[in-house]
Amino acid sequence: MEQIIFYLLAFLIGTVFGSFFTLAVYRIPLHQNITHERSYCPHCHHKLSFWDMIPIVSYLALGGKCRYCKEKIRSRYLWLEILTGMIFLLFAMSFHISFVPLQINQFIYFAFFILVISGFIIIAGIDKERHTIQKSVMIYEIIVLTLYIVYLYIVEKANIYRYGIYLLIFILFLWIETIYLKKKLNNSYPLQILELSIMMAIFGGEILYIATVIFTLLTITIEYIIQYCINKKRKVRKQTTSYYKNLPMGFYLVSTYIVLLIIINTIAYRG
C-alpha cells in the first residue's frame, strides 16, 4: 500500500514539474522570471488563477482553451505534463523501493534524479523550439551535478577523479564558448552539444552516454528514412534533409538518455 501511494505521489509530482517545465521553456529564452512572476496566458496575458494551473485537470476542464480569451492552448502543455508524470513514475518504480527498512540512499538518488532530469527536460524543450542549448540551464545543471559529486565523495566514498576531469573540461568548453567563439562564430551549437554530453557522462557514466549516442543516431536515421519514403510517396518536392539542417540534437539526446537511464536503473535494482 505504501508503494502504491509513493508511485501515485511520484506521478503527481511529475505533472507539477511538467507544468513548470512548459513555463520555463517559454520564459527562459525570453529572459523572463520563472519563479516569482505568476503564470499568464501567452495570447491575452491575463494572469492565471490556481484553478487554471492544475496539471492535466485544468487543460481538460477548459477544453484546451484559455478561460479568459478563449484562444486555443497548445496541446504540448498537456502532453508534457503527462509525459513528465510518467517519467517520474517509471523511475520511481524502477527502484523497487522498500519502506521497511527505509533505504535513504535510494531516496537521495531519486531526489538528484528529479533535479538533474528537470534541467535536461528544459534543455530539450528549448532546443526543440529554438535550436539552442540555454546556457543558464546548463549552469544550473552543472551546479546540481557538482552537489551530486560531493554527495558521492562524502557519503558513498566514491572515487571522484573522473568527475573532476569532466568538470574541468566542461568549464574549459564553457569558457571557450563564452569568451572566444562568441566573437568568432555566430553558431556555437556543436560546442553546446559537447557540454551537454559531458553532463550526461557525469550523471550516467560513459557507457550510458555511448549507448545514448548510438540509439539517438539510429532513431534519427529511421526517422529520416520514414520521412523520405512519405515525401517520395506524396511527391513532395521539398527535400527531406531540410529539417535536419536545424536538427535539435539536444532534444534527441535527452529523450534517448532518459529512456535508457530508466531501463538501466530497472535492471540494476531488480530483485
pLDDT in tens, 110-154: 888 889 999 999 999 999 888 888 888 999 999 998 998 888 888
Is the pLDDT higher at 4 or at 180?
A: 4
- pLDDT for 5-44, tens place per residue? 888 888 999 999 998 898 888 888 888 887 777 777 777 8
Q: Higher-confidence residue: 238 or 173? A: 173
pLDDT at 140: 92
- Report the pLDDT averaged over residues 41-62: 81
* In the predicted structure, residue 68 carries a pLDDT above the cut 60: yes
Does position 254 have pLDDT exceeding 70, yes or no?
Answer: yes
- Look-up: residue for cell 512519405? 230
Identify the band that residue 251 occupies on the pLDDT scale cut at 50, 70 and 90.
very high
260 vs 92: which has the higher pLDDT: 260
Higher per-residue confidence, 90 vs 231: 90
54 pLDDT higher than 80: yes
What does the angle CA 22 – CA 241 – CA 224 come to, to the nearest 5 degrees?
75
In DSSP notation, the chain reads -HHHHHHHHHHHHHHHHHHHHHHHHHHGGGT--SSSS--B-TTT-PBP-GGG-STTHHHHHTTTB-TTT-PBPPTHHHHHHHHHHHHHHHHHHHHT--TTTT-HHHHHHHHHHHHHHHHHHHHHHHHHHHS---HHHHHHHHHHHHHHHHHHHHTS----HHHHHHHHHHHHHHHIIIIIIHHH-S--HHHHHHHHHHHHHHHH-HHHHHHHHHHHHHHHHHHHHHHHHHHHHHT--S-GGGGGGG--HHHHHHHHHHHHHHHHHHHHT--
Residue 213 predicted with pLDDT over 90: yes
What percent of the chain has pLDDT above 70?
A: 89
Instruction: Report the predicted TM-score, pTM, of the whole model to 2 decimal places.
Output: 0.87
Q: What is the pLDDT of residues 161-186, one digit of tens each?
A: 888 888 888 888 888 777 766 666 56
